[in-house]
Structure 1
């Protein structure tokens, strides 16, 4: 009986792990990059990415989010920019258009997701890493973050 209760509590913890109860808009003033982020999930500041922006992580360290903007003075297309970043092999999902790219895959026990939009001399990106075992719980969160990425 104790084993069943422990498994039930573990399942509840997993199901609530990606529940975003409050959202806020994060903006990079220097570049105009803006994105909605779940403030109730990404509660800790986790450093600075390349270029401009901020890295965040969950309080338990299981997931992280980077919001960043880097210069694109060379005017690289999304396909050219992505190729120069030398992405890991085994990408599961890849979509490249004239104005953005999205790539996603798994590495060890995590899903990594990267979306970058191209505007006004900058590349505006969100990079998210989260437990692969919680994919379904994170799908809505990742979708909202991705779709909200913009340059104001």
Structure 2
């Protein structure tokens, strides 16, 4: 079974320069019904539903201008592999800039084609529960707070 995608889609257009978000961003909890996985999601940013992800249950979302995307998914982990083993089996791309692996989760991130991709997966009971976020590298500072809140709110 395939794991979360490690590719970033290229999208063009301008992004809301006021992404320095704070008080104007509307957040809601998104829950994957089948697994109970939940995450805080900025619905005023990721406002377009892009349907189910490949290789798991959950949902994909885009910004209105499609410059950034968020995937929330539960991926089968029938052998209950540790995050390190699960990640290694996915053959992640070379050139990972940031990697953190604990007994409970992994985080990997890098840049591809002027876009940052960020992937966090928490170990669940027979699943890896993940958030994948892709956004323009030139807007890293504006996205830092959003990515941090999404990542830290992921619950299995």
TM-score by length of 2: 0.86
Secondary structure at 2:17's aligned position in 1? helix
Match of 1:16 among 18, 32, 35: 18
Q: Distance in 2 between matches of 1:25 and 1:146?
A: 13
Q: In the comparison of the two structures, how many residue pairs are matched?
A: 140
Gaps of 5+ in 2: 1-13
* Residue 24 of structure 1, CA deviation: 0.4
Instruction: Give runs of ≥4 in structure 1 deviating > 4 Å.
Output: none
Contact map agreement 1:18 1:41 (CA 8 A) in 2: no
- Greater helix fraction, Structure 1 or Structure 2: 1
Q: Which residue number corresponds to residue 115 of structure 1? A: 120
Cα deviations by residue, 1:64-121 (Å, 9 ceiling, x for unpaired): 0000001211111111110111111000000001010000000011000000000211
Q: Which residue number corresponds to residue 43 of structure 1? A: 47
* Higher radius of gyration, 1 or 2: 1
Secondary structure at 1:80's aligned position in 2? helix
- Greater strand fraction, Structure 1 or Structure 2: 1
CA RMSD in angstroms comes to 1.5
